[in-house]
Amino acid sequence: MAIAFIDLQAQRARIKDRLDEAVARVMEHGRFILGPEVTAFEKEMSAFSGAALTCSCGNGTDALALPLMAWGLRPGDAVFCPSFTFTATAEVVPWLGASPVFIDIDPRTYNMDPASLEAAIEEVVSKGELRPKAVIAVDLFGQPADYPRIKEICDRFGLKLIADSAQGFGCTIEGKHPIEWADVVTTSFFPAKPLGCYGDGGAIQTNDPEMWALLDSLRIHGKATEEDMAAANYRGHEAKYLNPRIGMNSRLDTIQAAILLEKLAIFADEIEMREKVARRYNELLEGHVSAVPFVGDGYQSVWAQYTIEVENRETVQERLREHEVPTAVYYPVPMHDQGPYKRFPSAPGGLPVTNEKKAKVLSLPMHPYLDEETQDRIVDAVRSAVD
């Protein structure tokens, strides 16, 4: 029997009736855009992570762009982000005419290296060609970045901090979610994410009511906020027809919010299940592969992926295919090596860790419902493949 890389059907079987009922309720009331389930989900998501406010949107990429728009990013601004990440992290910066500056990664966690970040900021300040504006740290493979150190650096240089938690929503450091340190936390509800819907979706979390109002305006074509309405004496008119700023159309569908409400209800349990699968993988694979995932003391990953390191990766993948074990290689060409992004600067000294790890990382099947029998089959195949 073929092995699923991510088994969404196992999760659906667990809550099928609740999902069907949730979708049926939306179909019945017919408020398909910004319906009551959207508001309810935003409140539940805030409660889960301890954020004051959540602003949902159309996808995880827009979730990154909207805060940068709210902060007035413009040409000449610099945003510091890892190169070892999905395109969206860096893509949103040139949208607004600004420049990404690529940062190296920690060799154990694959997350942003604070030392590389600090050196890059100092170099940009020294050269004087760009204005340091913000940092986008990524919770790669589900593990939180080193937010205490990154936040200290951001505060010292006066930079905004985005926690790109597309893969890591639910991750914590000493029980605290990234919103404890970041100005905003963004996430994606792409179906393969730990908290995913059945389409596209995203969200931004903040503790700042004024920021939330601005994000809410920008996600709906730059509509007037309550403050805008009062200042311009627009009482009696619909805010969506009054547009004091340029925005975009980026709203979470009500049906997706209804689905996410049911998935969020079991999310904490699924994180524990993912942790159990990951611990067992580590126990069975440590010493057989070049490296198993490292998670620091006090750090909780949500295990969006389970990623090992191997030598001769293509040979290993081919052998695993023969055993019907699917694998994935994330970021074989980091952002600083991709054509459109080669013109943007990187941290001083280059990105040696990124360049090393891109040839070694290999992700194995990972989801909360991976049973021990299937996991044993995967482990046996990996051990055989690397011998």
Beta bridge partners of 2: none
* Positions marked catalytic: 193
pLDDT for 141: 98
pLDDT for 231: 81
Domain coordinates of the chain in residue numbers?
8-265, 267-386
pLDDT for 356: 97
pLDDT for 233: 74
Q: Which of 149, 79, 180 is nearest to 296 (CA)?
A: 149
pLDDT for 293: 98
Task: Provide the strand spans (E) within 39-98.
Answer: 53-57, 77-82
pLDDT for 387: 85
| pLDDT tens-digit series, residues 116-140 | 999 999 999 999 999 999 999 999 9
- Low pLDDT (below 70) residues in the chain: 1
pLDDT for 229: 84
pLDDT for 221: 97
Cα 251 to Cα 60: distance, rounded to the nearest angstrom: 11
pLDDT for 380: 98
Supply the mean pLDDT for the chain. 97
pLDDT for 215: 98
pLDDT for 312: 96
| pLDDT tens-digit series, residues 90-101 | 999 999 999 999
Element (H, E) at 27: helix 8-29
Q: Which of 135, 141, 94, 91 is nearest to 113 (CA)?
A: 135
Q: Has this prediction a pTM greater than 0.85?
A: yes
Beta bridge partners of 362: 308
Say if domain 267-386 classifies as CATH 3.90.1150.10.
yes
SS3 track for 333-380:
CCHHHCHHHCCCCECCCCCHHHHHHCCCEEEECCCCCCCHHHHHHHHH
Q: Which fold has domain 8-265?
A: Aspartate Aminotransferase; domain 2 (3.40.640)
What angle do the packed helices 8-29 and 254-265 form, to 10 degrees? 130
